Chain A
Amino acid sequence: MTLGRPDHRLGRVLAVDGGFAVVRGERGDYRVAAPPAWRAGDLVDGETVVRAFAGDDYPGPGSEVARLPGLRMAAMVSRGKALAALRGFFADRDFLEVETPLLVPSPGLEIHLDAVAAGPGFLITSPEYQMKRLLAGGFERIYQVCKCFRAGERGPHHASEFTMVEWYRGFAELDAIIKDTEELVAHVVTAVAGQALASYGGRAISVAPPWPRMTVRDAMRKWAGVDVIGDEPAADLVAAVRRAGIEIADGLAWDDAFFTAFLARVEPAITALDRPLILEDWPVPLAALAMRKPGEPLTALRFEAYVGGLELANAFGELTDPVEQRARFEDDQRIRRERGRPVYPIDHKLLAALAEGLPPSAGIALGFDRLVMLATGAPTIDQVLSFTTPEL
């Protein structure tokens, strides 16, 4: 709040007290000497009341001003700055901003993502299928900022509707995407916070590139005491997790056993780091849409970027082989069916595009809301959203 900024003329009086008023103007809240006629709730232009507030007791519960306290408004201003900085970043690197549909017939088959049904189809859980078709069509550097929807996801880091930043580089390897990520985060955080210091959980984390890297297997060995191979039976992994002293139920699937150990030991250790971490070389059962690492059939070309324990982005060296892609889709469908989850149709147009030929490509999806949390120090995703679901 600034004191009597002369460039503010229009605004709403939030409070009048002792001859002064707090006014919410277009650039934030400020304090001025209050003319005698001013009452809380009035819209003012200079000293003139242009629209007197009809009720009394402003702002009442349920008013928009009460819903948006100063901190939340400041977060929205930061969010706008972050978005502008992000678009500038990609423009400087010759990326084309694209828009692909949010309403699609095949929302993606990832085992742990449920889509929101909408009319004749589903809302996207990520824009990747259509963006890959654009790559097959010949675009080399594309990015998109769009809403994605994931049913049932609600928590301090999750909102069912959220904003994704997704970008791809054709004829490029994963290293180029790591570099993009480091530079983008540093650029956006600097634009918002004034320096390359993210803030999370009350701690400052330098996001200046380059970021430390670690393989998933090293992280699991170092922090969880679990050796992960990649093709061991699920029961063996469950036993290894239990030997490491982590409580785990019998009969868990491979991925659930992995994440039980990961959440118990690895994620808390990453959270305690004072630098971001690129967690790379994921075991192949967690490959999703990543290709296998050449010469290492049990390892996928995939990385995740963590900052302050917040999982910020996930990247793949993109799987371009239509035969393997189809096999993975069919596996995903089978597993979804076995687990009683909705089974979505395979996107045959994506498979056709892969068959037509996707250049060697790398791509990444980054949670924009989480990036704003890091840039502003907001502890929950709700604080960087203009509206949460219960507010609608």
Chain B
Amino acid sequence: MYDTSDIRKGLKVLMDGNPWTIIEFQFVKPGKGAAFTRTVFKNLLNGKTKEMNIRSGEKLEPANVDQREMTFLYKEAGDLVLMDQTNYEQVSVSAEMVGKAADLMKDNLPCTVLFFNERAIDVALPTFVFLEVTASEPGVRGDTSGNVQKPATVETGAEVMVPLFIRVGDMIKIDTRTHEYVERVAKTA
């Protein structure tokens, strides 16, 4: 069991049968009252948050949650298949878990998979991925104002808005959280 002195950001606890992670906490102590830890929890299954004041000395049950580094293998009928490189175990999760970022996933992409009671409940992608542009109309010459963008298709098939100077064959950096182009990068042969 955890105690209030164990509370820190990222601690995973079990409440009402759900796994929660602590995202914020603060020591509070009303005059003539006990010390409490004002704690904000995020539900790892549905992303909902809640705030609770936990009295010093109260116990929190650890959630059987663990994180494993896995690599993305392939997509199959709306599922993502990932593999643990240390023991070659494979796991299949719904692509909905990563949302729109699913179309930015390339073979062998390193991901962090969160398991709750041995079941995969979340897949975290690297913040940035580097992908090659496979199709894009050439930019209109003369129109170089910074904000104008055009659609480009990258090697995974995803469509991303890019600046006009990006050409087919360029390697670009994309933010998986926002699905947005960040910058052009040098190709590593």
Size of interface on B: residues with Cβ below 8 Å to A:
18
- Give the docked Cα–Cα distance between A255 and B51 (Å): 20
Stretch at the interface among A140-148, A152-160, A176-184, A353-361: A152-160
Compute how far the CA of A282 lies from the CA of B80 in the bound complex, rounded to whole angstroms. Answer: 59
Kindly report which residue of chain A lies nearest to residue B27, judged by CB atoms: A155
Min distance, Cβ A365 to any Cβ of chain B, angstroms: 9
> Are A158 and B29 interface neighbours, CB within 8 A?
yes
- Asked whether A247 lies within 8 Å of B35 as measured between CB atoms, the reply is no
* Chain A contacts with B in 259-273, Cβ cutoff 8 A: 259-260, 262-264, 267
Tell whether, in the assembled complex, residue A252 and residue B29 are in contact, meaning their CB atoms are under 8 Å apart. Answer: no
A252 to B31, CA, bound (A): 18
B26 at the binding interface (Cβ < 8 Å):
yes
Stretch of B52-60, B107-115, B130-138, B174-182 on the interface side: B52-60
Does A249 belong to the interface (CB within 8 Å)? yes
Q: In the complex the two chains form, is A311's CB within 8 Å of B52's CB?
A: no
Answer whether A112 and B33 are a contact pair too, CB < 8 Å, given A249-B58, A252-B55, A256-B55.
yes
Chain A residues, Cβ within 8 Å of B30: 259, 262-263, 267, 311
* Residue among B28, B32, B50, B58 making CB contact with A263, cutoff 8 Å: B28
- Give bound CA distance, A157 to B53, whole Å: 16
Q: Does A304 contact B (CB under 8 A)?
A: yes
- The distance from the CB of B189 to the nearest CB of chain A, in whole angstroms, is 40
Tell me if B31 and A263 are in contact (CB < 8 A): no
A173 at the interface (CB under 8 A from B): no
Question: Which B residues are in CB contact (< 8 Å) with A153?
Answer: 27, 29, 35
Q: Is the CB of B184 closer than 8 A to any CB of chain A? A: no
A interface footprint on B24-49 (CB within 8 Å = 1, 0 otherwise)? 00111111111110100000000000
* Chain A positions within 8 Å of B29 at CB level: 112, 153, 155, 158
Chain B hits for A264, CB < 8 A = 51, 53
Nearest CB to that of A289 among chain B residues? B32
Interface status of A362 (Cβ within 8 A of chain B): no
CB distance from B37 to the nearest CB of A (A): 9
- Contacting residues, chain B, for A255 (C-beta < 8 A): 32-34
Q: Distance in Å from the Cβ of B2 to the closest Cβ of chain A? A: 15
**Contact A259 B34, beta carbon cutoff 8 Å:** yes
Beta-carbon contacts of A58-81 to B below 8 Å, as 1s and 0s?
Answer: 000000000000000000000000
Does residue A110 face the partner (Cβ distance < 8 Å to B)?
yes
- A153 to chain B: closest residue by CB: B29
**Minimal Cβ-Cβ distance residue in B for A114:** B35
Contacting residues, chain B, for A325 (C-beta < 8 A): none
Would you give the 0/1 interface string for B10-26, flagging 1 where the beta carbon is closer than 8 Å to chain A? 00000000000000001
> Is A131 interfacial (CB-CB < 8 Å)?
no
A288 within 8 A of B: yes
**Docked pose: A247 CA to B31 CA in angstroms:** 21
User: Which residues from 278 to 311 on chain A have a C-beta closer than 8 Å to any C-beta of chain B?
Assistant: 286, 288, 304, 311
Whether the pair B35, A112 counts as a contact (CB closer than 8 A) is yes
Chain B residues within 8 Å of A267, by CB? 28, 30
Q: Pick the contact of A260 from B26, B50, B53 — CB < 8 Å? A: B53
Q: Say if the beta carbon of A100 comes within 8 Å of chain B.
A: no
B36 touches A259 (CB 8 A): yes
CA distance A359 to B51 in the complex (A): 46
List A contacts of B53 (CB < 8 A): 259-260, 263-264
Interface pair A262/B33, CB less than 8 Å apart? yes
Most buried by A among B30, B50, B51: B30
Interfacial residues of chain B within 124-155, with CB under 8 A of chain A in the complex: none
Known contacts A153-B35, A260-B53, then 13 further A-B pairs from the complex at CB < 8 Å, ordered by chain A residue: A112-B29, A112-B32, A112-B33, A152-B35, A252-B55, A255-B32, A256-B33, A256-B55, A260-B36, A263-B30, A267-B28, A267-B30, A288-B32
A residues near B (Cβ < 8 Å) are: 110-112, 152-158, 247, 249, 252, 255-256, 258-260, 262-264, 267, 286, 288, 304, 311, 314
> Residues of B at under 8 Å CB distance from A?
26-36, 38, 50-53, 55, 58
11 interchain pairs (CB within 8 A)?
A112-B29, A154-B27, A155-B28, A249-B58, A256-B34, A258-B33, A260-B55, A262-B33, A263-B36, A264-B53, A288-B32
